[in-house]
Amino acid sequence: MAGGFRYKIWDPPLILSQIITMQAVFYVGLGVWVASLDLFTGHHRSLDSLFKYQELQVKEIHGRTVMAAFILNALTSSLGLWKVVQRTKQCLDFTVTAHVIHLCASWWYNGHLPSQPSVWLLHLVTITLMCVLGEYLCMRTEMQHIPVLGSSKVDL
């Protein structure tokens, strides 16, 4: 296709594989962060730390470490966006998709949606961090492919 930096083709298998890969990056990263931080606090490791809303308590040391794991996972998942998605325009889409899938899995695990404002605030912060850092990394990579100096002149 002439006139475009990158061509755009609707490729559902590619998009689906990127969603699955990003979800795997999200959960593997979250599991590693929660497990490693639980080693320091001495708390038992279970799926409750990943999915149970009641684990996200600001008043308890374990709740704060789980929140820290979610924030650190946002940074780790942004690296996944950079390597898997590789497009600045799609970072928000894949970030929100990963978090919505996690919300649905947590809803299924708990049987209800969270009622604590801290849970919603935490996810808003992690969505923002993951998206902004992923966009920054993707933008830096995309800008490397655009020659600025020493390019030949084109007749307009």
Model confidence pLDDT, tens digit, residues 19-43:
999 999 999 999 999 999 988 888 7
Over residues 150-154, the mean pLDDT reads 58
Nearest CA to 70 among 19, 106, 29? 29
pLDDT band at 3 (very low <50, low <70, confident <90, very high): very low
Whole-Å CA distances, 62 to 9, 42, 51, 76, 93: 46, 9, 14, 21, 31
- The tokens of 87 are what? 């497009």
Task: Name which of 91, 74, 83 is nearest 135 in CA terms.
Answer: 91
Residue 68: how many other CB atoms lie within 10 Å: 13
Report the 10 Å Cβ neighbour count for 129. 19
HEC states along 56-104? CCCCCHHHHHHHHHHHHHHHHHHHHHHHHHCCHHHHHHHHHHHHHHHHH
pLDDT tens for each residue of 47-73 = 888 999 888 888 888 889 999 999 999
Count of helices and strands (H, E) across the chain = 5, 0
